[in-house]
Amino acid sequence: MVMDVNRRTVLRLSRYRKALQRFSELGFVKVFSDNLGEAVGVTSAQVRKDFSLFGISGNKRGGYQIDSLLETLQRILGKGRVQKVIVAGAGNIGRALIHYPTFEKEGIQIAAAFDIDPAKMHRKERIPVLSLDEMPRFIEENGIEIGIIAVPEIAAQEVCDRMVRSGIRGILNFAPIRLRCGDENVVINPVNLQIELENVIYFVHALGKNQDTAPVNDKIKVNHL
């Protein structure tokens, strides 16, 4: 009966935050739940329920003060201090992440990347690419809690194990494999780009065909879960 904080709630919170940033940049001062809902693609009731879950309250008839709401969301989402992150695998995905400047602006600092291929290593770069062997030490010395896995599927579980052993508490995993981790206190979120693409393909085909072949939901605009 008492709805609690789950993955989807927090994903929405991030979206609200992003929307608020834009509203703020546009010079708006206050916002109503239906503005936010519209911006993010949910109902206004959903917005209010989400906020109420975190004890966020606005003003009856006055909506929410953008600045203060933004600050609250930043705090909830841990944007108070810079969050250091490491990346395992300096290949296609790993490098894409390293070279994305927005992370830094948003308080996410990629402290280093790690690879086994000596050709990929660059100790002198602003974000150094080091040897995987140096990862445990680096994690411990810098108190890193979050790791991104961007190594080939075959190496992913091993890298995951090493990260967790060294103290990593949360992993964003790009390898198309379900990582197992004994420790219940470690969060592992998968990002499977192939599956996301296949999903689009499925629904395009499903919409294209007459609905005889397979049963299909009405509201297929799909978008975020």
Ligand X SMILES: NC(=O)c1ccc[n+]([C@@H]2O[C@H](COP(=O)([O-])OP(=O)(O)OC[C@H]3O[C@@H](n4cnc5c(N)ncnc54)[C@H](O)[C@@H]3O)[C@@H](O)[C@H]2O)c1
User: Which residues form the interface with DNA (CB under 7 A)?
Assistant: 1, 3-4, 6, 8-9, 32-34, 42-46, 48-49, 51-52, 56-64
Structure tokens at 35: 């503005």
**Which CB contacts under 8 angstroms, 24+ apart, belong to 35-41?**
35/63, 36/64, 39/15, 40/12, 40/15, 40/16, 41/15, 41/223, 41/224
Q: Which residue has the tokens 């790690």?
A: 114
Nearest distance in Å: CB 95, ligand X:
7
Q: Angle CA(182)–CA(184)–CA(190) in degrees, nearest 5?
A: 85
Report in angstroms how near the CB of residue 77 gets to DNA at its nearest.
17
Q: From the list 41, 78, 80, 152, which residue makes contact with ligand X (rule: CB under 6 A)?
A: 152
Nearer of residues 65 and 131 to DNA, judged by Cβ? 65
Residue 53 CB, nearest distance to DNA (Å)? Answer: 8
114: contact with ligand X by CB under 6 A? yes
Per CB under 6 A, the list member of 20, 175, 179, 188 interacting with ligand X is 175
**How many residues contact ligand X, by CB under 6 A?**
28
Point out the residue whose Cβ comes nearest to ligand X.
Answer: 91
Q: How many residues does the chain have?
A: 225
23 binds, among a copy of itself, DNA, ligand X, none (CB under 5 to 8 A by kind): none
Residue holding tokens 């940049």?
A: 25
3 state SS of 170: strand
**Which of a copy of itself, DNA, ligand X, none does 110 bind, CB closer than 5 to 8 A by kind?**
none
Query: How many Cβ atoms from other residues are within 10 Å of residue 37's Cβ?
Result: 20
